[in-house]
Every structure is written in structure tokens, then in C-alpha cells.
Amino acid sequence: MEDIDFGEIQQVLDEILGNSMDFEQMVKQGMEGGRIFSWDYLTGQFFHIFLEELLAQRQMWMHILILTIAAGVLIHFSDVFQNKSVSRISFCMIYMILFLILIASFQNSMGIAKGVMEHMRSFMTVLAPAYFLAMAMTSYTVSAGVYYEFVLLLISAVRWFTEVFVLPCIEIYVLMVLADHLSKESRLTRFAELTEMIVGWSLKAALAAVAGFHMIQGAVTPAADLFRKTAVSKGLEMVPGVGDMSSSVTDLVLGSAMLIKNGIGAAALIVLVFLCLVPLVKLGVIMAAYYILAAVLQPVSDERITECLTGMGNGVRLLFKAVFTVLVLFLLTIALATAATGG
């Protein structure tokens, strides 16, 4: 284990999470069969972040609540005005203020999603050399080379896929939803639905592609490595005099390397979950708040306002799905690579 340098991994974790996590200690606990993390601590952190995010967002939700009620009052009491254009102009002014507030809120949500994706990519970049070195030490050299190249490709592909395609599409979807409800006639609804569908199917296609790669590679390269390892072990046993001892020493060394590799894999899975815990909870709170506001305000506000809030909730839901999909892609890669080379 001394041959594997965890310095870069620990440095990245310290920059992202502070000094709350010792990666090397987590690996040692995983090798010894101990508990790498506490469920009580995880649950406590979840509720703490949940309540903290509710308090942080309360001022903005109050502004949205007041504006939507005011817009509803103007629409329902428009008959009081002799010139109804006054009511429409007032509604448009309130809607534009609401538009700016919602855009600012969504940009905050977008920043959360971009930040956590960058953190996951940074962690995977520094994890890959240590993890696949440990895999190579278990005699799975071909698998280590193939999976290492795949992880580097996956990191680059995730960066391009999210920054160039998914996140801009979600941003376009939200802008179309906001613009579509400025007037009573819906002109961009179908286009917004098409954009939402494209994002959803793209995320599913990415998951299917990664799972398909692991299914194919898991059936080929580990078998070749296992055959070579068995051949070497049997060859050592045939050496007169020292064959049995050499084989036993080889099995002991490979078994120790296997423990290290599995310990690194288990610790990496926990770290990825902790990296995404705070952002996913924040996005979940924001998403739920939009849906709840839309449901509560529907009886008293204009339909365009409630549909707009629902569309904003859908936009944040797409961000949540994008972050969760990237997390699952990396979790699948580590988990399946560890399982495939566990023999």
C-alpha cells in the first residue's frame, strides 16, 4: 500500500470537503472489513442540509409568493379598471419582475449542478492512477489498461456531454417556459416538451452506453487476465522444490493487492456519494418548493404563473437528473470494474 500515493486524492478532497475526510484511512478501514462511514452521520447531514437550504431560500420564495398573489389580484379584479390595458400592463410588469427572480434562482441551481459535476470529474481524475495501479498489482494488467483508458475517455465525454449539450438544453428549456407564459397563447409549449424529452433520453442513452461497455469488457478482459494468472500460478507449482512455496507467496501477494484495490474502490464509492449529497439535497429542495408553490397558488393566481412555476420545477428536476446520472455513471464504472476484477 506504500507504493500507492494518495496525496493528490487527499488534496482534492480537502479543497472540496475541507478536512472532514481521510481517504487513506477509509481505504484501510475497507481493507479490514470495518465500517467506512456511519449511517447515523449520513442521515444527520441530510436533514441538516435540508433545513439549511429551506432557511436559505425562504426570502426568495416569499418574494415569489407576493408577486404571484399580486398578479392574481390584478387579473381577477381587472373589471374594476375602465381601461383593461392598465391591468394587462401591470400584470406584464409583475411577470417581468418574477421572470428576473426566477432566472436568478435558476442560475443558482445551474451553478450548483456545474460545481458538483466539476468536483466529481476532478476526483475521478486523481483517483484513476491510484485505483488502476492497485488493479494492475492484482495481475489484472490488461483490465487495468482498458478500464483506465475508458475512465479517462468517460471523464472527457462527461465534460463535453454536460457542458456543451445537456446543461445548455436545460437552460433553453427554462427560457422557453418563461417566455411562453408571458402571453395567454402558448406558442413554445411543444418545443419545450421536445427539449425536455431530448434531455431525458440523452441521459438514459449515456447510462445504457456505459452499462453496455462494462457488460462487454467484463466478459472479455478479466477472463484473459484470470487465465494468465492461473497459468503463472500453475507454472510456479511445477518448479521442483520451491514450487509450492512460490505459489503460496504469489497468492498471498495477489490477495493483499486485491484487498487494497477493493478498499480503494469502496472508499471511492463513498466519497462520490458524499460529494453529491449536499448539491442533490439543495436541488431537491428547490425543485419541491416550485411544485409546492404552484399547487398552493393555483386557486388564487393566474394560470400562466402557476404553469411557469411548474415549468421551473421541471427545469430543476432536469438538473437533478443530470447530476444524478453523472454520479451513477462514475459509481457504475468503479463498482463494475471492482466486481469484474475481484476473482
How many domains, the chain?
A: 1
Residue 8 belongs to some domain of the structure: no
Please name the residue that has the C-alpha cell 448539491: 279
Query: Would 281 be classed as within a structural domain?
Result: yes
Q: In 3D, which of 66, 65, 91 has the Cα closest to residue 76?
A: 91
Residue 12 one-letter amino acid: V
* CA distances from residue 298 to 68, 293, 307, 309, 310 in whole angstroms, order as listed: 10, 8, 9, 10, 11
Cα radius of gyration (the chain): 27
Residue identified by cell 470537503 is 17
Specify if 160 maps to a domain.
yes
Range with the poorest average pLDDT among 61-65, 84-88, 97-101, 112-116: 84-88
State the pLDDT at residue 223: 57
23 falls within a domain? no
Residue 236 above 50 pLDDT? no
Q: Which residue has the cell 500507492?
A: 4
Per-residue pLDDT band for 328 (boundaries 50, 70, 90) equals: very high
pTM of this prediction?
0.85
Q: Torsion angle, CA of 54/56/57/60, rounded to 10 degrees?
A: 150
How far apart are alpha carbons 1 and 12 in whole angstroms?
20
Residue 262: closest CA among 38, 42, 37, 29: 29
Name residue 302's amino acid. D
Give buried/exposed letters for 232-251 (b at 16+ CB in 10 A, else e).
ebeebeeeeeeeeeebeebe
Would residue 22 count as lying in a domain?
no
Nearest to 325 by CA among 203, 216, 224, 225: 203
**Degrees to nearest 5, angle at CA 291 with 286 and 297:** 120
What's the rounded Cα separation, in Å, for the pair 86 and 198? 40
- Decide if 25 is inside a domain: no
Range of the domain at 256: 33-340
In this prediction, residues 267-281 reach a mean pLDDT of 87
283 against 304, higher pLDDT:
283
Write the CB contacts of 328 (distance below 8 Å, at least 6 apart in sequence). 207
Examine residue 210 and state whether it is found in any structural domain, yes or no. Answer: yes
Question: Is 276:120 a contact under the CB 8 Å cutoff?
Answer: yes
Query: Is 21 within a domain?
Result: no
Q: What is the DSSP string of 152-173?
A: HHHHHHHHHIIIIIIHHHHHHH
**Which of 109-118, 165-174, 294-303 is predicted with the least confidence, judged by mean pLDDT?**
294-303
pLDDT at 274: 85
pLDDT digits (tens, 9 = 90+) for 37-51: 656 666 666 666 666
